[in-house]
Structure 1
Amino acid sequence: MSFFADNLIFPALTLAFLGWLVPRLLARFFPEGLRPLLMLAFCATVIMFLLGIGFFLMLYRAQGIPFATIFEPGLAVGLYHFMRLALISALLWAPVMILSVAGLPKNWTKEVW
């Protein structure tokens, strides 16, 4: 796990893959149509943001940093730090997620794009 956390390429590829996978999984539960597609994109963004927070928490733990040290300055400061990391990680997963969402209508059978 340390090798995964110490390198940049594997976490970046993981976030990019999740950016592709999350909309595809959500598409199974959303109806076809433009408004549901926009709602799906919003839900995928929120889920990816939360996954980003969890992902960076996991990376910190994989490097051996205990939760007590991470949140020593305070819970709000620690959460703010991980929220910032999750927003920065959007540079990796957001373009992939946009392409994934844009490709969903080609599989529609009831609605016409």
Structure 2
Amino acid sequence: MSEVKRYGHIGYLVNASDKLIELYPDMTVYVKAADLDRVTAERDAALENVESAEASAQTLHEVISRLKAERDALQALLTAADELADVLTQLLREGLEEYKDGDDWIERVIAALKTAEGGSYEAI
């Protein structure tokens, strides 16, 4: 923040240094209107920056909260899909044990299971 020249009144106008103010604590201290306006404008600008930063922080907090909620929802969907895949895979395994030989559809299911699990049907 910029310096402001202060003036004191002790019967006449003097330059009010810190030492003089310490010597005369009841002395009235004045500043030029231009200095006061400048310092007030600097303070107001700083306050606007703080308010803007607070608004940005609030917006970021809201975005992070929304993204976390979306992530949690996607994780729940992924978990449900994984569970469904496990159930369907198990049902296919059980069905294939009974109808293993001679059906083209069964061969395609076996191939799909090999691809999906990266192994062979015997590993399934």
Q: Identify, as 1 or 2, the structure richer in strand.
A: 2
Structure label with greater radius of gyration: 2
The two structures have a TM-score, normalised by structure 1, of: 0.29
- Structure with bigger RCO (C-alpha 8 Å, 6+ apart): 1
Choose between structure 1 and 2: higher helix proportion: 1
Normalization by structure 2: what TM-score? 0.27
